[in-house]
Chain A
Amino acid sequence: AQSVTQPDIHITVSEGASLELRCNYSYGATPYLFWYVQSPGQGLQLLLKYFSGDTLVQGIKGFEAEFKRSQSSFNLRKPSVHWSDAAEYFCAVGPSYNTDKLIFGTGTRLQVFP
């Protein structure tokens, strides 16, 4: 069955430090992979997505992610974190069979200290 694992529930970093959020997936075919961010009190917003091509994808707000098929991973990175990046981050994989369903991970909450 398709699944997504985000092993880190909560991460704390200092402002200006680099960031890597982990995501591992289990999927039988070529996956569509997504990272969404949820700021406090808001819905989810797409940061970036990957389907094919260059395995390093750039997203909004200075984020990037790298698809590694051999490791079944799609980790999110940012070289220098800003206080406004404090939020919850969700990795997702899809589609599920012939639908547009996404499977979401359990999320990683990022806290940024000044």
Chain B
Amino acid sequence: DVKVTQSSRYLVKRTGEKVFLECVQDMDHENMFWYRQDPGLGLRLIYFSYDVKMKEKGDIPEGYSVSREKKERFSLILESASTNQTSMYLCATVAGGPYNEQFFGPGTRLTVL
């Protein structure tokens, strides 16, 4: 079974802090995604990556950056956390091909005070 793990289930940070959310997958998938999930808005794509050191902006990249130094690890960075970044963050991974299933991690619920 594919396993996607996220570094924290719950995280509380203060405004202005730098925040790192980490995602690790064990299936050698090329593609990895970061979404944020908000009530009534569904899942919105922040960034995605097709390969090591490659990244593409999603629909809402402002205020975020990402890093992919190793194939299995995809990090989401909030350079200076703000209260409007309080949300559930989901990581997903998929083998190449648009028809393939995306496998999701359990999510990190981030609260920015």
Which residues of A does B touch, CB under 8 Å? Answer: 6, 9, 32, 34, 36, 41-46, 49, 51, 90, 94-95, 99-102, 104-107
Contact = CB atoms under 8 A, between A and B. Distances in A.
B92 to A, nearest CB: 8
Given A43-B92, A44-B92, 18 more contacts: A9-B40, A32-B98, A36-B104, A41-B106, A42-B106, A43-B107, A44-B43, A45-B104, A46-B102, A90-B42, A99-B98, A100-B31, A100-B48, A100-B96, A100-B102, A101-B45, A104-B44, A105-B42
B98 A44 contact: no
B94 interface: yes
Contacts of B107: 42-43
A21 B54 CA distance: 37
Contacts, number: 56
Interface residues of B, number: 27
B99 A44 contact: no
Interface of B: 4, 31, 33, 35, 40-45, 48, 56, 58, 90, 92, 94, 96-102, 104-107
13 contacts: A9-B40, A32-B98, A32-B99, A42-B107, A43-B92, A43-B106, A43-B107, A44-B92, A49-B101, A100-B97, A101-B45, A106-B41, A107-B42
Interface of A (DSSP majority class): loop
Nearest to A95: B98
